[in-house]
Amino acid sequence: MFLLAFSSTGQNCEKVLLSGKVIDTLRPQNFYNLMVVNRTTGKGFFGLPSGGYNLYVNNGDSITFSIKGYKNIEYSVKADANCQARNIWYIEMKPQEIQEVVVKPLKSLQEIQEERAGLAMRETRQVTGIEVLRSPITALYQAFSQKEQSKRAVAQFEYADKQKAVLQELLRLYVAYDIFYLSEDEFDAFIAFLNVNEDFLKTATEMELVTFIKDKFEHFQRLNKR
């Protein structure tokens, strides 16, 4: 009977003194943003910079200890015989998630020039010239077949992508050499504005190309400002 009365003392507490401390053993620091939230009553209290806290709650209240950069601690108040609940919490910071960064090495002007000179659309076999007379059925098939038209369309898209990739490398190089400033997010819009002739892209000298692109960039800037 004595033990039963002693164990039930905590259940009869009008208020419970909740106290304790949160400790990060790896990073000793002050916890200026420690928040003790009583989710049962909907009230929140700031902890001490040392990581300590003292407040009155009800027995059985649901408590959340919240510190920026750490996982929340969930606790249900259990009063002792002295109507107190004291705990020491050892905490660890959340692992930091760093956004992936892709580093693209700059190509040299010589490498880009070789890519420009080598631009060519992938061949899709097509009957032309005298072959049309030798194989009129094949010629008609290629002219009207959706499959053959799709092949040609894919080849054209691939060729356009190659031109775009070469221009992107040029723009990265020009930006790196402070010829002008343009963010990568603006590359696609500027390349569309350039509308470079494919023969010019393949055969122009470095001076002709940089002069053309720099002149176009100035027009591009003025239009964007307007």
- The pLDDT tens digits for 130-144 are 554 455 555 555 555
Structure token digits, residue 106: 């700059």
**What average pLDDT is seen over the chain?**
80
Do 67 and 40 have their domain in common? yes
Tell me the pLDDT band of 1, cut-offs 50, 70 and 90.
very low
Do 186 and 148 have their domain in common? yes
Do 78 and 162 have their domain in common? no
Q: In terms of pLDDT, which residue wins out, 2 or 172?
A: 172
Q: In terms of pLDDT, which residue wins out, 19 or 184?
A: 19
Tell me the pLDDT band of 152, cut-offs 50, 70 and 90.
low
Q: For residues 200 and 103, give the distance between their C-alpha atoms in angstroms, rounded to a whole number.
A: 30
* Of 91, 43, 88, 46, the residue nearest 63 (C-alpha): 43
Do 24 and 56 have their domain in common? yes
Residue 66 counted as domain residue: yes
Do 120 and 184 have their domain in common? yes
Do 116 and 29 have their domain in common? no
68-114 tens-digit pLDDT: 888 899 999 999 999 999 999 998 887 767 677 666 667 877 888 88
Asked whether residue 45 carries a pLDDT value surpassing 50, the answer given is yes
Tell me the pLDDT band of 10, cut-offs 50, 70 and 90.
low
Structure token digits, residue 100: 């992936």
Residue 97 counted as domain residue: no
Q: 195: part of which helix (H) or strand (E)? A: none
Asked whether residue 186 carries a pLDDT value surpassing 80, the answer given is yes
Tell me the pLDDT band of 128, cut-offs 50, 70 and 90.
low
Per-residue model confidence (pLDDT) at position 100: 73
Tell me the pLDDT band of 159, cut-offs 50, 70 and 90.
confident
Residue 101 counted as domain residue: no
Do 82 and 151 have their domain in common? no
Asked whether residue 123 carries a pLDDT value surpassing 80, the answer given is no
Q: For residues 112 and 173, give the distance between their C-alpha atoms in angstroms, rounded to a whole number.
A: 10
Asked if residues 70 and 94 have their Cβ atoms less than 8 Å apart, the reply is yes
Q: For residues 224 and 57, give the distance between their C-alpha atoms in angstroms, rounded to a whole number.
A: 61
Segment 46-58 shows an average pLDDT of: 91
Structure token digits, residue 3: 């033990």
Flag the least confident range among 39-43, 112-116, 209-213: 112-116
Asked if residues 79 and 59 have their Cβ atoms less than 8 Å apart, the reply is yes
Q: What is the residue range of 130's domain?
A: 109-225
Asked if residues 106 and 172 have their Cβ atoms less than 8 Å apart, the reply is yes
**CATH number assigned to the domain comprising residue 51:** 2.60.40.10
**Backbone dihedral region for residue 104 (phi beyond 0: left; psi -120 to 50: alpha; all else: beta):** beta
Strand partners, 195: none
Tell me the pLDDT band of 58, cut-offs 50, 70 and 90.
very high
* Of 125, 118, 135, the residue nearest 198 (C-alpha): 118
Per-residue model confidence (pLDDT) at position 206: 87
Q: For residues 37 and 27, give the distance between their C-alpha atoms in angstroms, rounded to a whole number.
A: 24
Asked whether residue 198 carries a pLDDT value surpassing 90, the answer given is no
Do 217 and 161 have their domain in common? yes
- Report how many domains make up the chain: 2
